[in-house]
């Protein structure tokens, strides 16, 4: 298990990669019509975005980076095709 700040940071980085993979899978699921309805996709997307945002908060708390994201970038965790 991760010990200390550096160990936690490694776990949070691995989680970030895993959550990004999840978001891609949710998007692919939408494209191949794997969801029974748009509402089902929307809920999966919302949960993936929530995970991404939580992980971003953990990352910022570990790095001390409180900078605001660039206005040209999509907000952290945002998925294409999901309602804001």
Q: Which domain holds residue 55?
A: 7-61
Determine, yes or no, domain membership for 44.
Answer: yes
Predicted local confidence at residue 75, as pLDDT: 58
In tens, the pLDDT along 20-72 reads 999 999 999 999 999 999 999 999 999 999 999 999 999 999 988 765 554 55
pLDDT score at 63 = 86
Total number of domains constituting the chain: 1
Domain assignment of residue 80, yes or no: no
Whether residue 79 lies inside any domain: the answer is no
Instruction: Specify the pLDDT at position 3.
Output: 74
Helical ranges in the chain per DSSP H: 4-31, 38-63
In-domain check, residue 81: no
CA 53 – CA 51 distance, rounded (Å): 5
User: Is residue 38 in some structural domain?
Assistant: yes
Query: Is residue 43, in this structure, part of any structural domain at all?
Result: yes
The answer to whether position 33 is within a domain reads yes
Do 44 and 81 meet the contact criterion of CB atoms below 8 Å apart?
no
Split at pLDDT 50, 70, 90, the class of 5 is confident
Structural domain includes residue 24: yes
């Amino acid at each position: 298990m991760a010990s200390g700040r550096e160990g936690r940071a490694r776990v949070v980085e691995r989680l970030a990669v895993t959550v990004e993979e999840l978001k891609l899978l949710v998007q692919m699921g939408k494209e191949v019509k794997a969801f029974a309805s748009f509402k089902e996709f929307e809920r999966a997307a919302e949960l993936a975005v929530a995970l991404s945002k939580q992980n971003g908060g953990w990352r910022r708390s570990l790095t001390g980076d409180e900078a605001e994201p660039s206005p040209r970038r999509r907000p952290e965790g945002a998925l294409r095709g999901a309602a804001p």
